[in-house]
Amino acid sequence: MKKISSITAIGVLILLVASPFIAISRDWKNYILMASGLAITILSLMLRKELHKVIRIVHSAEEIKTDTYVESNPQ
């Protein structure tokens, strides 16, 4: 959940930096936007890795195979 909140916060930062109402030099805007894009990329890859791990666990839980023993009772 922390990663998802971080992506949201970075999105808000990008919104603020890209708005014309905040006076930030063009160089600083470029640096902030590049760092934000890199951070979003890294966070999304980390989320994807966690999602694949959860999906593997869910799929492997469905295919649990156990031995079945039947007692024969001859008469």
Apex 11 CA angle, 7 and 13, nearest 5: 115
Position 10 in a domain: yes
Domain interval for residue 47: 2-61
Position 75 in a domain: no
- Specify the number of domains making up the chain: 1
Position 73 in a domain: no
Position 23 in a domain: yes
Position 71 in a domain: no
Position 70 in a domain: no
Predicted TM-score of the model (pTM): 0.66
Position 16 in a domain: yes
What average pLDDT does this structure show over 57-62? 72
Distance separating alpha carbons of residues 39 and 18, to the nearest angstrom = 17
The string of pLDDT tens digits covering residues 12-25 is 988 888 888 888 88
